[in-house]
Amino acid sequence: MRCVRAPPGTGAAALMLLLPATMFHLLLVARSGPARLLGLPPHLPAPEALWSPGALLLWLTWLGLQAAFYLLPAHKMAEGQELKDKSRLRYPINGFQALVLTALLVGLGVSAGLPLGMLTEMLLPLAWVATLTAFIFSLLLYLKALMAPASALAPGGNSGNPVYDFFLGRELNPRFGSFDCKYFCELRPGLIGWVLINLALLVQEAELLGSPSLAMWLVNGFQLLYVGDALWHEEAVLTTMDITHDGFGFMLAFGDLAWVPFTYSLQAQFLLYHPQPLELPTASVICLVNAVGYYIFRGANSQKNTFRKNPSDPRVAGLETISTATGKQLLVSGWWGMVRHPNYLGDLIMALAWSLPCGVSHLLPYFYLLYFTALLVHREARDEQQCLQKYGLAWHEYCRRVPYRIVPYIY
């Protein structure tokens, strides 16, 4: 029997339609009465519900504001990983400053009468303009990459198939002058936008119910901690796969600019339209789950970053390691001796804690947990391949000593 292969780029083209469609599906379902994750949303929006010049203006102002904060003098400049041509790029470390400045500006606006809660009524048109921006931006990045030298290209995303390369991104670190597009998008407009949308949902809930619910406070608090932590440890993002390995194309541009703010705020969106009772004892247990997740996530990420920066740092110097042919070492005790991706485990436990305040009557608030599990399992497999290539036998030895990938004794 002959096997019929889909034309190259078909998967990428399908994902480019599927990802925005999923995001709009989630936005529509969250505000519908039955809030059913599976199945069609009760009604499709009229085109005028999607398009609003006000939303476009607001979105462009937001991007401009975050770009301006990025360009402000930074207290520190960090160096990225070594590139193919042996050079290292420099990055400003001022993401937390951008979060604080945004909070001050929003605080000033609200005290001057800015109706922050109204933002919740603009989520659909905002998501639409964010998606359009991601498409246009990725197109510009693709065209820019056609002129980039071979040394500036990402390991993937250079197949020669325009659709596939547009999706994955050809250039590793596209820059305009010293402005690094991928680094900026990864941590600023989307992540800070997510926190702002959550806050708007909390304000709107307070206007409707008289005060925000305990469940809404928890979701806002947990996710603010996550975003604040990412910006506080901004330098650590420079060693993630997205920055060191992946090109900047539609997947990351859409992920950073649209997917993160509009789908990661799904729990708060669900709570606005489907208030959930939450007793203090249950809330305390959920806080504990989040704290455990955060403890593992932060402990594991900090241990690896400290070790990679300076293996003789007293906080990691006593840990057991194995040597690799590259001269780098691998940790085999501490967090990295428990499973091969302890940071993913902590992240997943936190994801569970973000959904639990929404109760167990609906699957919708658990979408993030499901999607994130799939993303991390796939990411772990990709990282495994890269580590095997980098470290060869030493990686086999690490896998023998630490047999579980993410969850001890299970996976």
Ligand X SMILES: NC(=O)C1=CN([C@@H]2O[C@H](COP(=O)(O)OP(=O)(O)OC[C@H]3O[C@@H](n4cnc5c(N)ncnc54)[C@H](OP(=O)(O)O)[C@@H]3O)[C@@H](O)[C@H]2O)C=CC1
Ligand Y SMILES: CC(C)=CCC[C@@H](C)[C@H]1CC=C2C3=C(CC[C@@]21C)[C@@]1(C)CC[C@H](O)C(C)(C)[C@@H]1CC3
What phi, psi does 33 have (nearest 5°)? -55, -55
Which of 164, 183, 248, 259 lies at the binding interface for ligand Y (CB under 6 A)? 259
Identify whether the C-beta of residue 320 lies closer than 8 Å to the C-beta of residue 185: no
CB of 307 to ligand X, least distance (A): 6
Q: Which segment (76-84, 125-133, 251-259, 278-286) binds ligand Y by CB under 6 A? A: 251-259
Site for ligand Y in 159-198 (CB under 6 A): 186-187, 191
CB of 75 to ligand X, least distance (A): 23
**In angstroms, how far is the first alpha carbon of the chain from the final one?**
36
Distance, in Å, from the CA atom of 27 to the CA atom of 263, rounded to the nearest integer, reads: 7
Considering CB distances under 5 to 8 angstroms, the limit depending on partner class, which of ligand Y, ligand X, none binds residue 184? none
Alpha carbon of residue 369 to chain centroid: 13
Check the CA dihedral 180-186-187-193 and report its sign. positive
User: Does residue 70 interact with ligand Y by CB under 6 A?
Assistant: no
Residue 37 Cα distances to 22, 23, 131, angstroms: 10, 12, 21
User: Does residue 153 interact with ligand Y by CB under 6 A?
Assistant: no
Which of 341, 349, 354, 366 lies at the binding interface for ligand X (CB under 6 A)? 341
Instruction: Look at the block and give the residue holding tokens 């800070």.
Output: 192
Residue with CB nearest ligand Y?
Answer: 255
Distance, in Å, from the CA atom of 318 to the CA atom of 141, rounded to the nearest integer, reads: 45
Considering CB distances under 5 to 8 angstroms, the limit depending on partner class, which of ligand X, ligand Y, none binds residue 304? ligand X
Site for ligand Y in 369-388 (CB under 6 A): none
User: Does residue 238 interact with ligand X by CB under 6 A?
Assistant: no
User: Does residue 134 interact with ligand Y by CB under 6 A?
Assistant: no
Identify whether the C-beta of residue 158 lies closer than 8 Å to the C-beta of residue 226: no
User: Does residue 235 interact with ligand X by CB under 6 A?
Assistant: no
Q: Is 327 left (phi over 0), alpha (psi -120 to 50) or beta?
A: left
Which of 99, 219, 230, 345 lies at the binding interface for ligand Y (CB under 6 A)? 230
Closer by beta carbon to ligand X, 137 or else 336: 336
Site for ligand X in 250-309 (CB under 6 A): 297, 301, 304, 307-308
| DSSP track, 321-359 | EEE-TTS-EEE-SGGGGT-S-HHHHHHHHHHHHHHGGG-
Cα-only R_g, the chain: 22
User: Does residue 256 interact with ligand Y by CB under 6 A?
Assistant: yes
Considering CB distances under 5 to 8 angstroms, the limit depending on partner class, which of ligand Y, ligand X, none binds residue 383? ligand X
User: Does residue 253 interact with ligand Y by CB under 6 A?
Assistant: no
Q: Is 104 left (phi over 0), alpha (psi -120 to 50) or beta?
A: alpha
CB of 320 to ligand X, least distance (A): 10
Which of 20, 255, 342, 346 lies at the binding interface for ligand Y (CB under 6 A)? 255
Q: Who's near 111: CB < 8 A, 6+ residues apart? A: none
DSSP state of 77: E
Closer by beta carbon to ligand X, 32 or else 329: 329
Q: Which of 402, 107, 94, 355 is nearest to 223 (CA)?
A: 355
Polymer length in residues for the chain = 411
Which of 240, 323, 361, 385 lies at the binding interface for ligand X (CB under 6 A)? 240
Which of 25, 144, 379, 401 lies at the binding interface for ligand X (CB under 6 A)? 379
Q: Which segment (202-210, 280-288, 310-318, 330-338) binds ligand X by CB under 6 A? A: 330-338
Helix (H, G, I), strand (E, B) or coil at 178: coil
User: Does residue 377 interact with ligand X by CB under 6 A?
Assistant: no
Which of 344, 354, 366, 367 lies at the binding interface for ligand X (CB under 6 A)? 344
Distance, in Å, from the CA atom of 322 to the CA atom of 300, rounded to the nearest integer, reads: 17
The 14-53 site mask, x for binding ligand Y (CB under 6 A), equals -----x----------------------------------
Which of 80, 130, 242, 405 lies at the binding interface for ligand Y (CB under 6 A)? 242
Q: Which of 350, 347, 342, 343 is nearest to 404 (CA)?
A: 342
What phi, psi does 190 have (nearest 5°)? -75, -50
Helix (H, G, I), strand (E, B) or coil at 245: coil
Considering CB distances under 5 to 8 angstroms, the limit depending on partner class, which of ligand X, ligand Y, none binds residue 358? none
Q: Which residues bind ligand Y (CB under 6 A)?
A: 19, 186-187, 191, 230, 237, 240, 242, 251, 254-256, 259-260
Q: Which residues bind ligand X (CB under 6 A)?
A: 240-241, 297, 301, 304, 307-308, 328, 330-331, 336, 341, 343-344, 347, 375, 379, 383, 386-387
